[in-house]
Every structure is written in structure tokens, then in C-alpha cells.
Structure 1
Amino acid sequence: MTSRTMVARTMGAMLCVALAGAARADNALSLKELSPNGADACFGRIYDAAHLKAHPHQKVARIFFYYGHDPVSRPNEEPLANQDNSHNGFLTTTARDAKKPEWASGWCNKNDPGDPSSGIRCGMDCDRTLASLKVDDKGKLLLSDLSPDIYLDPDASESMSKAEYNKQALGSEDDNFKLEPMPADSCKAEFARIDPIDPALGDPLRVRLKPDQPFCFGRDYDDAHLKSHPGQLTQSIRVFRGPIELAAFAAGGDAVNWPDGADIAVSVTTRQKGAKITQTYSCQGEADQWRCSASAKMSDFSCDISQKEIFLKRGPNGTMMVSNPNNAVAVVDLCSKAANGKTKSDDKVYRLQPMPQSACAP
């Protein structure tokens, strides 16, 4: 998820997104019942063993509803200008014996904008309902209309066997919840259980690597490593942005949409006669990685290399992960006959260390 993947998890669900634009909330963070002061609001409940024993058809052991800014997405690689902030209602539940919560999100509006006493409906793509909401006179949130297949694809009841559907769907008693108001941090902590942050990863690459500053990452493999990896052709590798790449972005890039449009260069020296290949890629932020397609605009290549891709991810303790798990990182001229099909080597994933810019000089 994106780190931001919402409920639409298959092509069937994704087709609904185009039809949902008109239904999105126009009054985000303005529902006074949920948030009298306009701040993010949290409601939740954790059921004890006695309650669950008395309600054998209730699968939900923990439930939290958060009204406000996205508590799910981590600082990711997508440009801030492209991030979707339209969803303002977030639901997470943890089933009995489950290790992690599941979650869904939508946009919340009054059922009747002209009637202050009307309830609230939180909608989702494909004209589905996330939940109906009402706050009682004690400030507790009454959450109802929770569909058993809230976390499944819209066509799950038809595409799945009855047994599998019943296994993955919520229970017959998983509705009409009464949730207590809680501090916003309680909801944030609950949503953080979905995808725990690794503190060693630090800031995303788009924050660590500035659009107007060069960088250099690399690794040189010693004889012992190469001996233990006979299928690896790479002897040394450099991933960098230098004067050429910086000038290209300054001339045609948009810092607001960084890292979209960022050019990087990848140089690989093989242990076969020490041949060195340098290839330019054009990148864009996608969830937790930069997706970089081979570019011909600063190369002499004339073949179609747009489908040759690599991926950059932040690694622990300031490192960078570079990978192409499908075809391996290019260690040959991408327009040569040897580049057709898959690269038959173990040159697929690298963990690179930051290096001085001089280490990436041509």
C-alpha cells in the first residue's frame, strides 16, 4: 500500500475508482460530531476474553476508527503533490488470533447535509459503504453497516468459494460497534501495527537525496565474494547523479514533483575483461521505491529500451538497495543482442554504500 494501497486490490476493484470521483467528501475534517474542534479524532475498543466468549460469531477483537489525515501511509517515495488526501475515514480491525490488523478507508459525509441530526455515511469506491456513524450524547461512536466483505474485492461473494469467503469475511456479529473516544495517538499506534516502521531505514530517498544535489552510491566486490557467487558478473557498481543528470533536471524537471523525472546513471564493471557499461535511467516515485526506466536521451542507443527497469529503495543505515529481480541489472549494452531476454546472471539485488562523488566520476 502505498504503502498507500486502498481497498481496491484487483483490476475489478480498480475499475470502480474512475466512477467514484463525484462521491468524494467535500467537507473533509468538517464533521463537527466527530471532531468538534477540527482536529483528528480517534475512537476504539478492545474486547476482552469474556466478551468474545459470549459472542462466538464475532471475529473482531480490536476495532478503531480514525477521522482525519491518513494514518496508514508511511513517508514514501511518491511526490507530495501526487499523494491522495481525499480519504478521511479510516477503519482497522484485528480478528481473534490475527497477528496484524486489516484496514479500509473512505470519505465521510452527512446523509442529509440539510439535517443536522442526520447520520454520517462513509463511502468507498464501487459505491460501497465503509460504515455508518453516529455519535451518542456521551461522545461514543456508534458504528454500523459494516459489511462482512469490507476487506475483500467487490466481487468476492461470486469469485470465491463459500467456504473461503466465510473464512476471510467478518463474522455475523461483527457490526453495531460502540467505540470509546480516544487520543489520536491511540489510533496512530494501532494503524502502525499494520506495517511497522523500521527505524533503521530513516527518511525516504526523495527526502535524503535532493533534486539539486549530486549523490554517489556503490560497492566493490572482493575476490572472496565473487568466488562464493560464481554467477555474479558484477565486480563493481556505481549509482549516481552527476553534473549531466543535475543539468537535465534543472532544465526540464519540477522540484515539486521530485523524484519524478529524475535521471540517474548506473555504471557496472564486470569481471570479464573489466568491461564497463554505463546506462542512464529516468525515475519516478512509486510507493516505497523509485521505479527507473532505461533512457536513451543521454545515450547513443537506438533500440527500444523503455521496458528495461531497475528499482531503488532505501536500505538500512543510509544504504541504497538497487534491484531488478526479474531481468537482473544490465551488465551489457542494452541494445546488443546479448541484452535480449533475461540477463542470465545473479546480478539482481545490490546493497550500496554512500560514496564520495569522486568515486562515481567518469
Structure 2
Amino acid sequence: MTSRTMTSALFGAALFALAGAARAEQPPNLPELSPTGADVCFGRVYDAAHLKAHPHQKVARIFFFYGHDPVSRPNEDPTANQDNSYNGFLTTTVRGAKKPEWASSWCHKSDPSDPSSGIGCGMDCDRSLASLKVDDKGKLLLSGLSPDVFLDPDASESMSKAEYARQQLGSEDDNFKLDPMPAETCKAEFARIDPIDPSLGDPLRARLKPDQPFCYGRDYDDAHLKSHPNQTTRSIRVFRGPIELASFAADGDKANWPDGADIAVSVTTRQKGAKVTQTYSCQGEADQWRCSASAKMSNFSCDISQKEIYLKRGANGTVMLANPNNAVAVVDLCSKAANGKTKSDDKVYRLEPMPQSACAP
């Protein structure tokens, strides 16, 4: 992160200490930002003339929302893991970008005992989002915004210098003066981040119940396989049956669903009709289930923590299964036959709902 003055550093340290203690409960209302306690919005959209006069400013649109989370909606994250402590949300759209970037924070007085003290907003990993102040005209003054606010904390090490500079904000992207706007204006701006697709329906977390079996699959005919000569899979099934249901009933927590959910994936290959079934243990992550290979149904012991697949809801009741890195395994990941070779050309499947009998062992 960029260097800051000693005053800013001390302010940030005090803020983070306060924020860490307060995250367990709903943050207090800040009447300086919202006298009534209602959600409030501040924003600004820069015209072409302003951007031409400020060539080092990348931000073309900027909005700050103080209140209830305007971004999150029902997704695959377990309900028990959802954090309601964030109360400050920033979104910016840089020149030429189609969608905004955004960050969440928790905002507090730097010194609750001093009515004249400033407001600071902290982020995870002991990072600062910005300092805030409302002027006598009701405009929000937002300062101390770091150029790498939207980048991962280790981005400077994992990216090249050129890419890091490209993804950072510009040298003039700070000290913004934002106009008060209706709360709905900010909500509409945040909705641009990830527009809802009605065809996807409910998230898998809600569609697939922890105590109910399911079966999804697809069978490929000879015509399809002839037109896809590099495809190994002839038939695939993804399911939770009696074994997986019993496992979750014994050790799972419904409040954390789908974390800890076991699923089985059976693949029948076109070579000799060989069938392989692999068990995975899943957890909700953003808009997908991230599932790591498990040794529960294998007679072998091996390190398979990095063998992962992903489940996402597809359109019209389908489920998407993917392993974009190594493709879906067509051998037992813990068998000697695997020998580290689990790659195929079968990386993404669109699976249809099927009767449970279609997924019987």
C-alpha cells in the first residue's frame, strides 16, 4: 500500500482497534453521515471536460453508500457466515470500464469521546478505505483513498509491476467531493456490479436442501462424441444419496449449509465404458460451491486437497460443473492409476436434473 503520514497511520491504528472490537455487533449510527439513521448515498459522475482536464484521474463514476449492504443478495455463502457489520460501501467505475469495482468497510469515529473527531472506514487485513467528512453544504469529502484499494493485499508481490500499475487507481483519484443523492441511486449503481439473471433462479444453497437427495447428469450420444473427439466423458452424474445425506446428518450444521456437504461425481468414459466415482466435500463461496476431492470412498490415501471442482447454478434449472484447471477426474484421484495424471479435455458440463434412480450406484 502507498505510504501515509504519521498522523494517518496513528488514526488508522486507532480505527482498526476500535473496528475490530465492534465487528461482533452492528456498528453504531454516525449522525454526521445520516442524522436520521436511514441509508444515505453520495456520488459524482465526471463529465468528459473534467476528465480531459485531469488526465491522471481514472475514476469516471464514484459512489459511497452508508447503511445496509447494497451489494449482497442470496447466494451460496452460508447464512451463518454472512457479515452484517459492514456499513460503508464504495464503488468506482474507471474510464472505459463496463462494470464498477467495489469495497466494503466499517466506519467509526476515530475518537468516540470527541464529537469533533473525524470518521475513518477500515477494511479487512488492517487496511484503510478512506477518511470521511461532511461539509456545511452536505457534501461528502472522501480522502485518503489508496490507489490499490480494490487489489488483494498481496497483489504487489503476485503481479508484475506493469499489471499492478494498470489495475491501480490514478494519481489524481483521491480527495473526492461527492453530492448527496437518493439512496436508490447508490443501490442502482451497485446493482451494475453483478446484474441478476432471472433465468438462474434460486441459489443452489436454497434449491438443494441439506436433508434431501439430488441427481443431475448428462449422457452423450455417438453423434455428439463424434463431433467432440477429445471428450473423454460418455456419461456423468453428480448426486447426493443415502451415504452423503447420512454423513451430513451426523456431522453437518444446517446453519452453515452447504459447508460440509458431500457430493459424489460418477464419470463413465468412452474407453471400455470405465466408470469412476469420486467424492467431494463442498463449501459455499460467493456464487458457487467449491468442492475438494475427498478420500472417503477410496481405498487409498493421498494428498488430494488441491483437486477441486465447482458447482454453479445454470439457466432453467440446470447445474454447471467445472474444473477449469485440471478437468473433471476420470480416474480415482487416490488410486495408483492416477499417478498425478488426472487431466482430460472435459472441463465444463451443463447438467440436467434427473430422477434419483439415474444416480444409483
Name the TM-score class by shorter chain: 0.7 to 0.9
For residues 173 and 318 of structure 1, what CA distance do their matches in structure 2 show?
Answer: 47
Distance 2:149 2:340 in 1: 41
| Pairing of 1:89-128 with structure 2 (within 5 A) | 89-125=88-124, 127-128=126-127
Pair 1:94–1:244, CA change in 2 (3 A): same
Name 1:241's counterpart in structure 2: 240
Structure 2 vs 1, CA of residues 174 and 25 (structure 1 numbering), >3 Å: closer, same or farther? Answer: farther
**Which stretch of the first structure deviates more once superposed, 323-332 or 205-214?**
323-332
Change (3 A) 1:342 1:74: farther
Who is 2:142 aligned against?
143
In structure 1, the partner of 2:300 is: 302
Work out whether residues 329 and 344 of structure 2, in 8 Å CA contact, stay in contact via their aligned partners in 1: no
The one-letter amino acid of 2:122's match is G
Identify the match of residue 20 of structure 2 among 24, 29, 37.
Answer: 24
Q: Is the 1:234–1:271 contact (alpha carbons within 8 Å) kept by the matching residues of 2?
A: yes
Cα displacement (A) at 1:292: 1.9
Deviations 1:25-78 (A, max 9, x none): 726251122223333221111122333344444332211001123333453322
Unpaired stretches in structure 2, ≥5 consecutive residues: 1-14
CA distance in 2, matches of 1:89, 1:132: 11
Q: Which residue of 2 aligns with 1:16?
A: none
Gaps of 5+ in 1: 1-18
Query: Which residue identity is paired with 1:24?
Result: G
TM-score of the two chains, using structure 1 as the length reference: 0.83
TM-score, length-scaled by structure 2: 0.83
CA distance in 2, matches of 1:155, 1:330: 31
Secondary structure of 1:269 counterpart: strand
Contact 1:29 1:39 in 2 (8 A): no
Q: Does 1:75 align with 2:89?
A: no
CA RMSD in angstroms, aligned pairs only: 2.9
Q: Whole-Å Cα distance in 1 between the matches of residues 323 and 155 of structure 2?
A: 33
Between the aligned partners of 2:329 and 2:152, the Cα distance in structure 1 is 37
Range 121-130 or range 100-109, more displaced: 121-130
Q: Displacement, 1:226?
A: 0.8
State the distance in 2 between where 1:151 and 1:288 align: 19
Contact 2:266 2:276 in 1 (8 A): yes
Residue identity in the other structure for 1:304: C
User: Mean Cα displacement is larger for which, 220-229 or 46-55?
Assistant: 46-55
What residue is the counterpart of 2:9 in the other structure? Answer: none
Distance, in Å, in 2 between the alignment partners of 1:291 and 1:166 is 31
CA–CA separation in structure 2 for the residues paired with 1:221 and 1:175: 55
Native 8 Å contact 1:41 1:68 kept in 2: yes
Structure 1's 248 and 146: CA in aligned 2 closer, same or farther, altered over 3 A? Answer: closer
Report the alpha carbon displacement of residue 290 of structure 1 after superposing the two structures with TM. Answer: 1.5
Q: 1:360–1:133: structure 2 CA closer, same or farther, 3 Å change rule?
A: same
What is the letter of the counterpart of residue 185 of structure 1? E
- CA 1:74/1:302 → structure 2, altered by over 3 Å: closer, same or farther? same
Partner of 1:6: none
Instruction: Show the counterpart of 2:316.
Output: 317
Q: Residues 155-188 of structure 1, C-alpha deviation per residue, up to 9 Å, x if partnerless? A: 8889989877765544444333222222222212
CA contact (8 A) 1:305 1:334 kept: no
Kindly state the Cα deviation for residue 154 of structure 1 after the two structures are TM-superposed.
6.0
220-229 vs 324-333, which moves further: 324-333
Specify the alignment match of 1:343 in structure 2: 342
Who is 1:183 aligned against?
182
Aligned to 2:206: 207
Shift in CA distance, 203/29, structure 1 to aligned 2, threshold 3 Å: farther
CA offsets 1:214-265 (integer angstroms, 9 cap, x no match): 1110001011111112222221111111222222211221100101111112
Q: 1:121 to 1:348 in 2, by over 3 A?
A: same
Worse-matched range after superposition: 263-272 or 205-214: 263-272
Distance 2:275 2:175 in 1: 65
Q: Write the deviation string for residues 90-122 of structure 1: whole angstroms up to 9, x where unpaired.
A: 112222333332333322111221122322111
**Where do 1:155-304 residues align within 5 Å?**
168-297=167-296, 299-304=297-302
1:5 paired residue number? none
